[in-house]
């Protein structure tokens, strides 16, 4: 197990760039994750882990060889590499898997322009719990943004996620005869409890502006979650309630 002490080491500099830059992640085809539990989940899911960095301050039983190139670093260097205020002492680099395009038949959740990484991560975690594929379309938060990855709590390694342009989405839904329903705050929207969502695609839109006009035009109808008092729900909460109804 090699030890690295300099922040100018090429491996350390690459990790820092991967943590900070979407362009770097796309160029290298790599992304970073943190935490021992997340590392074990990545390995169990068959994700290609290319490097592991361990803090020298970790207990010896945690400084073990997992069959992956592993490097020991001082805690001060781990703090510089990490994307959180209190690093767990385990940081690892994974290869980004090939993008999925072949949407399966049946129900799925569509996220359009959902830009908050925490929302996207939480939604993916919930989607795994309900065994629902997720389609990202428009300008959604990047799937391998470190904040998204953390928020999924490991679901990023297992959840079926598809990145489709809007035209690709329309075509995929039409070919599979999957009806599209848009969650929208409008007078014409129907109570979600009164709509049969089995086998449907339900779309959650941007946190501030909702679903786009283009998506509304391709929707069979609009649905709404009835609430009182608050003007609207957080996108993650709305998505969870929609997925519950889709599986109810």
User: How many CB atoms are located within 10 Å of the residue 101 CB?
Assistant: 10
| Fold topology of 2-95 | 60s Ribosomal Protein L30; Chain: A; (3.30.1330)
Per residue in 170-186, pLDDT (tens digit) is 999 999 999 999 999 88
Domain coordinates in residue numbering, the chain: 2-95, 108-247
The answer to whether residue 229 scores a pLDDT higher than 90 is no
Phi (first) and psi of residue 183, to 5 degrees = -75, 115
CA atoms within a 13 Å half-sphere pointing along the CA-CB vector of 69: 7
> Is the pLDDT at 212 greater than 90, yes or no?
yes
Residue 110 phi/psi, 5-degree rounding, is: -110, 130
**Residue 248 clears pLDDT 90, i.e. is over it:** no
Q: What is the CA radius of gyration of the chain?
A: 20
Residue closest to 49 by CA, chosen among 3, 97, 84: 97
d(CA 240, CA 245): 9
The Cα 136–Cα 24 span in angstroms is 21
Given a cut of 90, whether residue 143 has pLDDT beyond it is yes
Location of structure tokens 């035209």? 167
Mean pLDDT, residues 60-80 taken together:
90
Class of the CATH domain delimited by 108-247? alpha beta
The neighbour count for residue 182, using CB atoms within 10 Å, is 26
Model pLDDT, residue 78: 95
Crossing angle of the two packed helices 117-129 and 235-247, in degrees rounded to 10: 20
Question: What percentage of the chain reaches a pLDDT higher than 90?
Answer: 88
Please name which of 188, 213, 211, 209 lies closest in space to residue 201, comparing C-alpha atoms.
Answer: 211
- Diameter of the chain measured on Cα atoms: 63
């Amino acid at each position: 197990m090699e030890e690295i002490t300099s922040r100018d080491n090429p491996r350390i500099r690459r990790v820092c760039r991967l943590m900070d830059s979407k362009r770097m992640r796309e160029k290298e085809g790599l992304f970073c994750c943190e935490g021992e539990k997340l590392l074990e989940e990545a390995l169990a899911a068959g994700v290609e882990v290319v490097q592991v960095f361990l803090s020298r301050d970790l207990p010896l039983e945690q400084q073990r060889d997992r069959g992956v190139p592993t490097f020991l670093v001082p805690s001060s260097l781990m703090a510089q590499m990490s994307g959180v205020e209190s690093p767990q002492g385990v940081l690892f680099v994974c290869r980004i898997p090939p993008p999925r395009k072949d949407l399966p038949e049946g129900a799925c959740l569509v996220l359009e322009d959902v830009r908050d990484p925490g929302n996207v991560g939480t939604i993916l975690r919930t989607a795994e719990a309900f065994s629902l594929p997720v389609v990202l379309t428009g300008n959604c938060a990047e799937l391998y943004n470190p904040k998204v990855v953390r928020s999924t709590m490991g679901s990023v390694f297992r959840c079926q996620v598809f990145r489709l342009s809007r035209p690709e989405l329309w075509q995929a839904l039409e070919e599979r005869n999957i009806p599209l329903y848009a969650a929208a705050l409008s007078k014409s929207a129907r109570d979600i409890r009164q709509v049969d969502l089995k086998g449907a695609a339900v779309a959650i839109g941007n946190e501030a502006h909702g679903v786009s006009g283009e998506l509304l035009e391709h929707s069979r109808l609009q649905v709404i979650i009835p609430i009182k008092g608050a003007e609207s729900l957080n996108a993650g909460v709305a998505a969870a309630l929609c997925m519950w109804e889709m599986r109810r």
